[in-house]
Structures are given as C-alpha cells and as structure tokens.
Structure 1
Amino acid sequence: MDSITQAALGASIAGLVAGKTLGRPVLLTGALLATLPDLDVLIDYGTAVANFTQHRGFSHSLFVLAPLSLLLAGLLWRWKPDPGFPRWLLLTALILMTHPLLDTFTTYGTQLFWPLGRPLAISSIFIIDPLYTLPLLAGCIAFLMRPPALRAITAGLLLSTAYLGWSFVAQQVITERVQPALAKAGFADAELLVQPMPFNTVLWRATAITDQQRVEIVTGFLDGDAPLTLEYFPRQPELASTVSQLPETRRLEWFTRGFLDYKKTSDGEITATDVRLGIPGAHPFTFVLANEQDGAITPGDGGRRPRPAINTGALPLLWARTTGTIPVLCLASLATPAVGQEC
C-alpha cells in the first residue's frame, strides 16, 4: 500500500497498544516504524529489473521482521521504560508485520517468506484505496484531538480490516462471474488475475493469459445484467522465447508469474511490460531486455522505459464506468466503443 496508508496503520496500532501511557507522540513512533520496511527502495541493486523485483524482498520478510521487532522493542524500552518491554514488543511486532501482510493484498507482490518461495499477491485491493485509509486517519485525528481516543482508534482499525475482508469477498464474486465467459472463449485453463480498478472495489479487471493471447474483462457491481465484454490482446511467444534464457527475463517471469507483454521496437529493442500493474496503454513498468539486429541478440542492461504520462482525461470515463453510467470501457484506448462496434 502507499506510504500514507502504512503510516496511518502503524500510528493506529501504536495508539491502541500504548496510547494511554505515551500520549500523542506514540502516533509518530508508530508511523515511523511502519515506514521502515519500505526503506529498501533506497537500495540500488544494479539494474532497474533488480530494483523492481527486489523491492518488498528481505525488508518485508517475516523471517527478518520478527527478530527486528525484538531488537527495536529492546531499544525503545531502554529509551522509554514505560509501558514495559512486553507492550513495546507487541507494538513493534504488530506494526512491522502488518506492513507486509497488508502489502500482500495488493497486486505488486510481497516476498513474505524471503528467501523462500515466490512473491505473494492476493490482488484484492488497489495500492491506493481511500475507503481503507480514511477510517485509520479519522481515528488518528481523534487521538490527536483528545487522546487516547481508544474507541475511535479501535473503530478505525475494525472498519479498515472489515473493508479489506470485503475486498477479498468481492474478488471471489467477480472471479465466479468471469470464469464462465472465459471458459466459453477458450480460456478455462488460462492463468487468471482478478484485481480492482484504481481507487475502489466496485469496478474490477480480470486478466487471463495463454501463450498466444491475453484477454481483459472489466466488470463491476453496478453493471446489473449487462453482458461481459472481452477485449483481446495478441501475445508473441516466439519473441518471448528469443529472450527466455536471459537472467533479467527469468527474474521478471518469476516475479510476475508470467503476466508479461513482449514487444520489439522498430530499432530492434525487445521489451517486457508487467501487464498486472496499471492498465493497457498506461502500464508503468516496461524494461529493455535485449536488442536484436540481423538475427543476433545482444542482452540489454535491464533499463526501465519512462513511465507513461497519466491520461487525466480518462479519469471521468473511469468514474462513469465504475458507477455503471457507461456499460463498456475499452482498455486499449481508454474510450467507449462507437455504436455498433466492440473493443
């Protein structure tokens, strides 16, 4: 999740655990502790691909955060003997471990058990969702105005947790909705990713991939009985095979579970785009893997292409699609299809 949300969650937990003893300063302590796992963004691992796939790695591992909680609890206890070591340990452990657990509900991927296994991504909540964050902020504001405001802090945590639970339930409902249409289109055995569209859990995006093709479906809870619209995107398995043995390619395939779109530019650059994040036409992570000239492949430096500019003109369309005002939104163009036409 975004930094503001993580800080609000950490501050809320700190206020609940030690607010009576430490007062308002405990919110700052909790917010700072909650930002620690994300400081790994300051580490340069050598290439853009490495930086992308190592983020949410060791610093988000429960195997690392558990002993770190003990260490920090001891230091904080020496600094402020009250409220005692057990409560300091409860505070540090809850804050540090809820950070990666919350991140796991997003799509990016969190290496919760680093160095074992692959990244985990439940993908039931967008990385920024005001309905999750606002209850936490409201509880913190109530605490600042009249500490310790335990009821407000508790209510904020309960509401945000309930919303997180709703996001998971909503994801299962949408999954069941799209599976029959995907099976009918020949994607019954395809790898499937179902995730919310930006900033909400009302409108959802389902992405299914095979070696030859990718299909996208946008559907929401306000669509009524409107039929599903399937939007097809060709894949290039031959191009993927060309760079499949490159270390950067293998790393991206591992990190994204294969949700990559390979392209070759007019000047021979072969790129891979993570199609899980963003939406078609506005995917933020595209990497240069190699250069092909006269059939010869030269490995690239794993550099990242510039992030596409945000199309602010599409925001009203996204809102209209979320509310069901418009029944179809083509992802490739971020526009509604003309009358009588399909995406």
Structure 2
Amino acid sequence: MDSVTQAALGAAVAGAVAGRKCTPKVLLAGAALGSLPDLDVLLSYGDPVSDMVKHRGFSHSLFVLMPFSLLLAWLWQKWRPTCFSFGHLWLLVTACLVTHPLLDSLTAYGTQLFWPINIPIAIPSLFIIDPLYTIPLLVVLLASLLWRDRMAKLCTVGLAVSSLYIAWSLTAMNMIESRVEQQLAGTPLAGQPVFITPTPFNTVLWRIVVQDEESYFEGLSSVIDGDTEIDFLQKPLGTWPAGLASEHQQMLEHFTGGFIRYEQRQSALVASDLRLGIGEQLAFQFALADNSNEWTAIEPIRVEGAKARLAQIPNLWLRLLGSQDIDANLCHISECPQEAVPLASR
C-alpha cells in the first residue's frame, strides 16, 4: 500500500495497543514504525528486475520483523525508558511492524512474508491506493488529537472500520471469482490460470485476466452489474525464445506467477507484468533480450508503458456503476484495437 496508508495504519495500531498510555508521541512512533519496512526502496539490487522482485523482501518478512521487533523494543527500553512494560512495548512495536506486510499482501504486487523462503504472497483484494481504506484511519487519528482522552478508543474504531473494509474486499473478490468460474465452465478456458484484482481506488470494479497457452483474455466486472456476463478481449501472450537462458526472465516468471506477456518491439523483447495495470497501461515492463543478430539475453532495461489519461477516468467510473457499454470495447480504456469476444463461442 502507499506510504500514507502504512503510516496511518501504524499510528492507529500503536494507539489501540497503547490503550490508556496513548499520547501523540505514541501515534507518531507508530506511524514511523509502520513506514519502516518500506525503507528497502532505498536499496539497489543492481538492475530494475531485481529491484522489483526483491522489494518487499527481507524487510517485509515475518521471520525478520519478529526478532527485529524484540531487539528494537529492548533498545528502546534501554535508551529511552517509557511508562510501558517491556512486554507491552514489544507488543506495540511488533504490531506496528507486522501489520505493514500483512496489508501489503492484500495487493497485486505480492509480499515475501516468509523470506528467505521465496514464495511471494498476494491476495489482491485491494488496490495499492484505496481512499476508502485510508480515510477512516486518517479521520480517527485527527479526531484522537482533538479528543486526547479517547485516543485508544478512536484508534480501535478506525481499525475496526478498515478491517471491515478488508472483509468486504475479500467478499467482493469472491463474488467476481464465482462469476468467472461460472462463465468459463464448459469452455476451453475452464481450469486455466485466472488473476483478479480491483481497478484503481475501489473494490467495486474488478479486472480479470485469463490465460491459455497462446493468448490472454482481459475483462472488467462490477459487483453491481445487472448482467454478470463478462466481455473479454483476446490478446497475444507471446513467447520467450526457446533455449534462451535468462535469470531475470525466470525471476519475473516466478514473481508474477506466470502472468507475463512477451512482445517484440523493434529488436528488443519486452516482458510485461500482466497483474499491474489495465489494457496497454502496464506498470512494469522490461526489455530482457535483443535480436539484432540472434536472440541474446541482455541486462534488463525498464521500459515505459502507455500513460493513463484523465479522460479515461469517466469511462472507468461509468463502468464501475454498472454501465456495460464500456465492456463491449475496452479500447475506451486502453486504446487497443482488438474486439471483445464471447468465451462461450470459442
């Protein structure tokens, strides 16, 4: 999630755990602790693919954060004595640190909760920026500064509201999963890999990506659609050159769970993460090979994708509200020429 959300979550968690001992300084310390795991963005791993794959790695690992919280609490108690017992202080530090990666694991990017075991965890029920999750936390934090005798209770209320929103997001995701399963049943795509994630800033409109061997299918579905049939666009998946070894390509395949598109642009072969973006506006694209003479793996180069435009927001908003005219042609969103195809006809 974004840094504002993580700081707000850390502050609210600190306030709730501190209880009657909560003060503005405790909230500030919680915000700092909640932001701490993301300091790994300051590290460079040598190339853009490694920077992407290894972000949310060791600094988000429960195996690292748990002992680190013990050390941090001990140092805090030793050098800055507080009114908290050591156990209470350790619980506060641990809760602020651990809730950060747990929240991150609910986004499409994925989080290595069990590093050094290389298993990215992603349950993408939240977009990386979601005001409906963040605003309740910010409101209760502001209110707690105005009514300081109720700090802990207000922080607890904020966490309860935000947790209910997470529960809703998981419920909405399950609704969309059921729609997709029903629509794919009896088609050649039944049982194929499916990725479902919310579109920007909401949990009402969801993006669906379905893969087969040579193509992927992209569609939108809103939880308030009257007609639950999803119109999909079929697009080429592309292939990686046979016999060409690339550590970075293997890293991306593992990190994305195989949701990668390969596309030749001039002499370069560009790999795009299909999980993050919409249409042609994919956030992470890398040139991994070159075909000037023959296919050769190269050091990864970050490639800029198509930029989102403000003019696209009304279309997404209308689609969120259930206007399925937008589904008939995703070009309104992504400006791609393919036509929507009914999966039942394949």
Using structure 2 for the length normalisation, give the TM-score.
0.92
Summarize the Cα distance change of 1:153–1:320 in structure 2 as closer, same or farther, 3 Å threshold.
same
Aligned partner (choices 211, 214, 229) of residue 212 of structure 1: 214
Deviations 1:80-125 (A, max 9, x none): 3311211110111111111111111111010000011410100111
Name stretches of at least 5 consecutive residues in structure 1 with no aligned partner.
none
Aligned to 1:17: 17
**Alpha-carbon distance change, 205 to 124 in structure 1, aligned in 2, over 3 angstroms:** same
The counterpart of 2:306, out of the listed 305, 308, 319, is 308
Report the counterpart of residue 318 of structure 2 in structure 1.
320
Q: Which residue of 2 aligns with 1:110?
A: 111
Are the aligned partners of 2:241 and 2:295 in contact in 1 as well (CA < 8 Å)? no
The aligned counterpart of 1:35 is: 35
Shift, 1:190, TM fit? 1.0
Q: Which structure 2 residue ranges, 5 or more long, are not aligned?
A: 342-346
Call closer, same or farther: CA 1:277–1:19 in 2, change over 3 Å. same
Q: For 2:64 and 2:121, how far apart are their aligned partners in 1?
A: 16
The answer to whether the Cα contact below 8 Å between 1:73 and 1:89 also exists between their aligned partners in 2 is yes
Written as runs of structure 1 = structure 2, the 5 A alignment for 1:184-333 is 184-225=186-227, 227-237=229-239, 240-242=240-242, 245-266=245-266, 268-294=267-293, 296-329=294-327, 330-333=329-332
**% of aligned pairs identical?**
41
Alignment of 1:84-95 (within 5 A): 84-95=85-96
Secondary structure at the counterpart of residue 163 of structure 1: helix
Would the alpha carbon gap of residues 129 and 201 (structure 1) be closer, same or farther in structure 2, given more than 3 Å must change?
A: same
What is the CA distance between 1:194 and its match in structure 2?
1.2
Shift in alpha-carbon separation, 1:97–1:335, aligned structure 2, 3 A: closer
Q: SS in structure 2 opposite 1:68?
A: helix
The equivalent residue for 1:73 is 73
Residue identity in the other structure for 2:85: G
Given that residues 59 and 65 in structure 1 are in contact (C-alpha distance below 8 angstroms), is that contact kept between their aligned partners in structure 2? Answer: yes
- Matched residue count: 337
TM score, norm. by length of structure 1: 0.93
Q: Aligned residue for 2:344?
A: none
Deviates more, 1:76-85 or 1:153-162: 76-85
Shift of 1:287: 0.5
Shift of 1:168: 0.9
The CA deviation at 1:57 is 0.5
Confirm or deny: 8 A CA contact 2:124 2:197 kept in the other structure.
Answer: yes
List 4+ stretches of structure 1 deviating above 6 A: 335-338
